[in-house]
């Protein structure tokens, strides 16, 4: 009788151990957010030059700023709304405001089983922006992914 109880207990403990380890979620170490990466350039010298300060927020979202008086920001990481096909961003460089409209298409992308899905974006080549301090915007890579690479260059 004692052998049956110890074998049953051993089987029960082994079974519980297997269940507990098989249900442990894997950890996600990958980047899961696709952000538009913008670098700033001096339009005369054509060299990378971080502004003294940058403030950035979505149109009609001044209370929810992406950046507020960020000193020497390089690069700026701009979130895009995957449920929309465009976004309007107010960029204040060294105290002067410009409005930039980004148009894009979004599609889901599987990162991994552990990390799940994110949205990648294809940036439209049509750029709409005011020219108070921004001289031009150059699209370096129109595909916005989780990879760390420059997407646009803002010349001011």
Give the three-class secondary structure for 12. Answer: helix
Between CA 129 and CA 18 the distance in angstroms is 58
What's the mean per-residue pLDDT of the chain?
89
Strand partners, 143: 122
Contact at 8 Å (CB) between 68 and 55?
Answer: yes
Contact at 8 Å (CB) between 128 and 98?
Answer: no
**Is the pTM here over 0.85, yes or no?**
no
Does a cis peptide bond (omega within 30 degrees of 0) precede residue 75?
yes
Q: In sequence order, what are the residues at sequence separation of 6 or more whose Cβ sits closer than 8 angstroms to the Cβ of residue 124?
A: 102, 103, 104, 105, 142
Q: Band the pLDDT of 9: cuts 50, 70, 90.
A: low
Between CA 138 and CA 136 the distance in angstroms is 7
pLDDT in tens, 16-70: 554 545 454 578 988 999 999 999 999 999 999 999 999 999 998 989 999 999 9
The residues spanned by each domain of the chain are: 35-155
Q: What is the pLDDT of residue 2?
A: 54
Q: Band the pLDDT of 126: cuts 50, 70, 90.
A: confident
Q: What is the pLDDT of residue 142?
A: 95
């Amino acid at each position: 009788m004692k052998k049956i109880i110890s074998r049953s207990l051993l089987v029960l403990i082994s079974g519980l151990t297997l269940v507990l380890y098989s249900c442990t979620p894997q950890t996600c170490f990958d980047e899961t957010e696709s952000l538009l990466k913008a670098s700033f350039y001096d339009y005369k010298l054509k060299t990378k030059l971080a502004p003294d300060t940058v403030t950035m927020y979505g149109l009609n979202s001044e209370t929810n700023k992406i950046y507020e008086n960020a000193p020497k920001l390089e690069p700026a990481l701009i979130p895009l709304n995957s449920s929309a096909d465009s976004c309007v961003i107010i960029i204040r460089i060294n105290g002067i405001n410009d409005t930039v409209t980004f148009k894009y298409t979004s599609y889901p992308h599987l990162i991994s089983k552990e990390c799940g899905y994110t949205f990648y974006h294809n940036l439209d080549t049509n750029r709409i922006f005011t020219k108070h301090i921004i001289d031009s915007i150059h699209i370096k890579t129109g595909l916005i992914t989780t990879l760390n690479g420059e997407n646009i260059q803002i010349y001011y």
